[in-house]
Amino acid sequence: MYVFMTNGTIDYLQRLRSQYPSEQMLLVCDEENGMLIHETEGKSVFHEPRPYEVLDAVGSFGGTFVVCNNIPVTDEGRPLFEHRFQQRARLIEQEPGFVAIRVLRPLKSDTYVIMTMWENESAFRRWQQSKAYEKAHQKRSTEEGIDQQRSIFPRPSYVTTYTVVKEG
């Protein structure tokens, strides 16, 4: 399974999505840009996509709020990083308001994306305040935490959030 992303104006991306009604796509936006996310077993329909291989997937595209944790990882660090994600606690999936998660391996860059989809922003904020979140991130900033493996991260990670643009 693959995920392809492209950016553009909302109007352009809506037209692009309408050209492929049988494809699994999600249109999202932040304060400045639109982004179209295409999940498929096949090839991208985008001219210049950002391609990812799906390492882990739970749930189906949807919700109204999307959070992308963008994590640059060195080539040497990829096996360790992926192993840690394969061992994740999976507590997020039981969280009220959780819709889906995709762990995405970059195919043309060094930045992994951990994408979660939520019923709404407040469901995500509740997750951040939950005991499950605390447990899922309990090793952060400890000797065992992957965030302490500085040599595998060439730059700091960053979070981007989006609102789902409804069809029509």
Q: Tokens for 143, please give them.
A: 């000797």
Q: If pLDDT is split at 50, 70 and 90, which confidence band does 128 have?
A: confident
Beta strands in 9-155 (DSSP E): 24-29, 34-40, 50-59, 65-72, 98-106, 111-118
Q: If pLDDT is split at 50, 70 and 90, which confidence band does 41 have?
A: very high
Residue appearing with tokens 């050209």: 19
For the whole model, what pTM was predicted?
Answer: 0.87
pLDDT at 144 over 80: no
User: Quick one: which of 33, 101, 38 has its CA closest to 67?
Assistant: 101
Task: Tell me how far apart the alpha carbons of residues 146 and 83 are, in angstroms, rounded to a whole number.
Answer: 10
Task: Tell me how far apart the alpha carbons of residues 113 and 103 are, in angstroms, rounded to a whole number.
Answer: 6
Looking at domain 1-162, which of 3.30.70.100, 3.40.50.970, 3.40.50.300, 3.30.230.10 is its CATH number? 3.30.70.100
Residues 145-163 pLDDT 10s: 444 556 899 999 999 999 9
